[in-house]
Structure 1
Amino acid sequence: MQPLPTADEVAAISRELGLAATAAELHGSLCGWLAGGGDDVADWPARVMADPALPTPLRGSALDLLRQATAARLEDGEFAFQLLLEDDDAPLRQRAQALFDWCHGFLGGFGLAAGASPPLSDEGNEVLQDLARLAGAQVQDIDEDDEDESALSELEEFARVAALLLHGDCVLGPRHRQRLN
């Protein structure tokens, strides 16, 4: 399976195209869009940023590879899906902010694709509310210790599993029901 581009690669092309989003927020938007049932299309930045004037990423660029790898991982039954956040050696505060940015982007992309009343399970409704709380969170005092590191890892894993659950509710579940009919 093709690897995700790095956050630095995505940030560089994002700046080049004039996108007003961090790499984490942009990836979150893409993930939310796909999880909500949005089409896997080359012009995804225009769709997830709700700006039709945005250019389509060049084939093979970091943004194009990000779309391809993310879509494949969401569809993969092996749970290979992962979030594009800051490197593990970045300061904890910066990594926490990237997670909050990712959640913010996810909610926007998900809302655009899924609409006002997506077909969510009870668990899906609950994780969507939890993601909204994370998206609105502020980075407070962080001690760069093992306890804070562990807490951030748990939140990252929660967001990863939440995206998979919502994708299951809005994409995989309806697809499966169509095949049965």
Structure 2
Amino acid sequence: MSQTLPDFDQITDTLRALGAESEAAENHGLLCAMLCTMEGVTADAWLDIALSGTGRDALAPEPPEALVTLFDETRRQFDSDEFDFHLLLPHDEAILAVRIEALGHWCQGFLAGLAVGGIQQPESLPGELPEIIQDMLEIARAEGYELEDDGEDEAAYAELVEYLRMGVLLFREEFRRQYAKAGEGSIH
């Protein structure tokens, strides 16, 4: 049963209402990395990091439904064998520069999530994972976009999103293999 992630703008509004300093794409990247590198991650564990400094506990002891739905659906997509995982990014109707900026934030969140998951030496990870991390660093650092208003930039963006999507699935699969071998915890 294929479902979809909650609406990007809905998650952004929910995070703003809670006083979060980071936005929807970054928090989804954080969540994805935590789900890849840590067994048994809960919505509360993710939100404790995503909403640190917001006073969330005093404002609302129960996390908003939209954030719980985002957590549950992302975990479901990761656990699916259908490769229906998607990055939480602005709609295709959004200005390309906005979507590219959000993609950079998503990568920042994923990289932060790797650190939360205990990945201290990413260059020692197996296979293509170090290269994917390096690419994410480059995307996260990119500033000022020289965009032509044509289909080439749209196609390049779509290719980048697909590359990251498949890269995250590769991370997830590699860590699943490591868990199966070790029977516990995360690899470092």
TM-score class, shorter-chain normalisation, is 0.7 to 0.9
Conserved? CA contact 2:28–2:109, under 8 Å: yes
Distance 1:57 1:8, change over 3 A: farther
Distance 1:93 1:105, change over 3 A: same
Q: Distance in 2 between matches of 1:114 and 1:144?
A: 41
Conserved? CA contact 1:48–1:109, under 8 Å: no
Distance 1:126 1:162, change over 3 A: same
Aligned pair partner of 2:47 in 40, 45, 48: 45
Q: Which moved more, 1:133-142 or 1:89-98?
A: 133-142
Distance 1:131 1:156, change over 3 A: same
Residue number in structure 2 paired with 1:94: 98
TM-score of the aligned structures, taking structure 2 as reference length: 0.85
Residue number in structure 2 paired with 1:69: 73
Query: Alpha-carbon deviations, 1:5-35, whole Å to 9, x = none?
Result: 0111101110111111111111111111111
Q: Distance in 2 between matches of 1:167 and 1:50?
A: 25
Q: Distance in 1 between matches of 2:47 and 2:64?
A: 15
Distance 1:147 1:49, change over 3 A: same
TM-score of the aligned structures, taking structure 1 as reference length: 0.88
- Partner SS state of residue 43, structure 2: coil
Q: Amino acid of the residue matched to residue 46 of structure 1? A: D
Distance 1:52 1:32, change over 3 A: farther
Q: Distance in 2 between matches of 1:116 and 1:47?
A: 18
